[in-house]
Chain A
Amino acid sequence: MSANVHAMSFPRTREPSAVSVKPLDSRARGNDSLADTPEARAHRVVAEKSNAIAEAARLRRERIRAFVLYVFPPLAGIALLILIWSILTLAPDSRLPSPLKTWDAAVTLFAKPFYRAGPNDQGIGWNILSSLERVGIGFGLAALIGVPLGFAVGRFTFLDRMLSPIISLLRPVSPLAWLPIGLLVFKAANPAAIWVIFISSIWPMIINTAVGVQRIPQDYLNVARVLNLSEWKVFTRILFPAVLPFVLTGVRLSIGVAWLVIVAAEMLTGGIGIGFWVWDEWNNLNVQHIIIAIFVVGIVGLLLEQLILWVAKRVTHGANI
């Protein structure tokens, strides 16, 4: 018996079905012969234990399978991208740097991300940070105005009717069309870039918040009326939590737009920032760095979106609203 148990504890060495069949069999026999002899009890214990071990092994294999299925496709996608990229660089007159060359450049670049060698020559870290700062200010101002305005538009039909033609008219305007107005009004490049971020990221927040307010289920409002809640309680306990998921969707769209626009805006305004850096490297004909910048912009955008998704998950309790 003990030899048997010993073998069971290494399920990987044997076929799992063989492991589970035999003890099941012995348990059945144990039950038949009315169970209370020490022999039968031992059989039962062994059977249960080996079944549990086999089950654990099966679960582990399934988890590994699920993990592989989860991880493999994205890796294959990235590998395919690099393959196509490599093929494109094979042509003799190709000016596209190969993945390996780009990787080497990236390693050198990120070895010293925070250096300053003059106003036009600073580390990539500084460039990313100053772009993030512009996005943060422009987007923050947009949220500060857009979300309360969205609440008002959603709550008051008059405001909704008043503002919706203006919103419909201004929303499709390309973000960069606002840049000259910003330069004219602020007479400086940096506030103009922030202004472009502000004006292009405010619309999703106004619209989503307003829709959220208009879609609050009548049930919740009935609860508010039946419980006779004060205006303040209605706002903090019902309106705000009910609209929050919509607000966060607006925030997610806005931050996407803001990050999208910043590269273009900085190319035009110059100074410091990832967009300016791309333009600078284009003037230096350093194509590796341009490709690196594309990856950096993509990864930072992805991280921003994941951050908002994470916040959204935290505050909505996973409830269906």
Chain B
Amino acid sequence: MAQISEAAKPFVKVESVAMTFETRRGNYVALEAIDLSIAKGEFVALIGHSGCGKSTLLNLVAGLLTPSAGVLLCADREIAGPGPERGVVFQNHSLLPWLTCLENVYLAVERVFAATESKGQLKTRSLAALELVGLTAAVAKYPHEISGGMKQRVGIARALAMEPKVLLLDEPFGALDALTRARLQNELMQIVAHTGTTTLMVTHDVDEAVLLADRIVMMTNGPAATIGDIVTVDLARPRERVALAEDPHYHRLRGKVMDFLYRRQLQQAA
């Protein structure tokens, strides 16, 4: 995995990016000197303590924020705002409560493909995206009628239905219970293996990062957070949660991330 990511041309590039927020008590430097390249098809996890600016970095790549310094590129073009080639899954699903699951997905599909496809094709696309996340039975339901895990799946379907080149996930499973989270992690692994989408995921769960990612980008504590270290996860795919639990290499990798988060970063913060 490491060789691929170094050899391939970077697909998403973050070059000396800094982010400063203007607050009433002066400027707050959230991110500083961030350099990161993500290869096509790579799965990168962003991990760090809360308040370290990992979501800020994701929002920069999403185009929801504009960097104070530096430049972000996606497929050799500067990221100047949100775009359909970058699908975002929000932490709190952010489904529109007055639309059914199908309509929520359709809204995204329509924006990207309406110029070239008929209404029937758009609907087929939306249904296919919902089928991909196993929600065929819930297409006509409203968000308040389905469980938290199902809502998050609709959020994923909505992002995937746009056929994005990059999938951006902001702690997508953070609000779910452990069992649902594990199931959705498995599904995400299968989907990404199937579609080959480049993925950037913010998480604070070490196990989730090691299980899913090709590389784990570890952020130092804010203010002025930056990339502290990067761990390459060279575990073979497909990965299986139960088998990994007995894999010594898995535990070594997990140990590395834990060491960074709880020894190096926590001491600095204290």
Q: Which residues of A contact B (CB under 8 A)?
A: 219-220, 222-223, 225-230, 233, 237-238, 241-242, 316-321
CA distance A317 to B87 in the complex (A): 28
Q: Is B97 an interface residue when CB atoms closer than 8 A count as contact?
A: yes
Chain A's nearest CB lies how many Å from the CB of B203? 19
Q: Which residues of chain A are within 8 angstroms of B79 by Cβ–Cβ distance?
A: none
Chain B's nearest CB lies how many Å from the CB of A18? 42
Interface contact A223-B94, CB-CB below 8 Å: yes
Interface contact B143-A319, CB-CB below 8 Å: yes
Besides A227-B108, A237-B107, 7 other A-B contacts (C-beta < 8 A)? A219-B92, A220-B94, A227-B162, A316-B98, A319-B143, A319-B144, A320-B144
Main secondary structure of the interface of A (DSSP, over half): helix
Q: Is B88 an interface residue when CB atoms closer than 8 A count as contact?
A: yes
Chain B's nearest CB lies how many Å from the CB of A201? 26
Q: Which residues of chain A are within 8 angstroms of B81 by Cβ–Cβ distance?
A: 225
A319 with B98, Cβ < 8 A, contacts A226-B64, A228-B111 known:
yes
- Of the candidates B62, B83, B90, the one whose C-beta lies within 8 Å of that of A219 is B90
Q: Which residues of B contact A (CB under 8 A)?
A: 62-64, 81-84, 86-88, 90, 92, 94, 96-99, 107-108, 111, 142-144, 162
Interface contact B99-A237, CB-CB below 8 Å: yes
Residue contacts A-B, CB under 8 angstroms, 29 given: A219-B90, A222-B88, A222-B94, A223-B90, A223-B94, A223-B96, A225-B63, A225-B64, A225-B81, A225-B82, A226-B62, A226-B87, A227-B84, A227-B108, A227-B162, A228-B82, A229-B107, A230-B111, A233-B107, A233-B111, A237-B107, A238-B96, A241-B96, A242-B98, A317-B98, A317-B144, A318-B144, A321-B97, A321-B98
Chain A's nearest CB lies how many Å from the CB of B66? 12
Chain B's nearest CB lies how many Å from the CB of A170? 33
Q: Which residues of chain B are within 8 angstroms of A319 by Cβ–Cβ distance?
A: 97-98, 142-144
CA distance A317 to B101 in the complex (A): 14
Chain B's nearest CB lies how many Å from the CB of A282? 49
Q: Which residues of chain A are within 8 angstroms of B62 by Cβ–Cβ distance?
A: 226
CA distance A317 to B99 in the complex (A): 9
Chain A's nearest CB lies how many Å from the CB of B17? 20
Chain A's nearest CB lies how many Å from the CB of B87? 8
CA distance A271 to B193 in the complex (A): 78
Q: Which residues of chain A are within 8 angstroms of B162 by Cβ–Cβ distance?
A: 227
Chain B's nearest CB lies how many Å from the CB of A267? 43
CB-based A-B contact count at 8 angstroms: 59
CA distance A318 to B144 in the complex (A): 9
Interface contact B90-A222, CB-CB below 8 Å: yes
CA distance A287 to B45 in the complex (A): 80
Q: Which residues of chain A are within 8 angstroms of B82 by Cβ–Cβ distance?
A: 225-228
Q: Which of A223, A226, A317, A318 is packed against the most chain B CB atoms within 10 Å?
A: A226
Q: Which residues of chain A are within 8 angstroms of B99 by Cβ–Cβ distance?
A: 237
Chain B residue nearest to A223 (CB atoms) is B94
Interface contact B107-A227, CB-CB below 8 Å: yes
Chain A's nearest CB lies how many Å from the CB of B83? 7
CA distance A219 to B96 in the complex (A): 9
Interface contact A237-B90, CB-CB below 8 Å: no
- Of the candidates B64, B94, B142, the one whose C-beta lies within 8 Å of that of A317 is B142
CA distance A321 to B97 in the complex (A): 7
Q: Which residues of chain B are within 8 angstroms of A321 by Cβ–Cβ distance?
A: 97-98
Q: Which residues of chain B are within 8 angstroms of A226 by Cβ–Cβ distance?
A: 62, 64, 82, 86-88
Q: Which residues of chain B are within 8 angstroms of A229 by Cβ–Cβ distance?
A: 107, 111
CA distance A226 to B158 in the complex (A): 11
Interface contact B97-A219, CB-CB below 8 Å: no
Interface contact B96-A227, CB-CB below 8 Å: no
Chain B's nearest CB lies how many Å from the CB of A153? 23
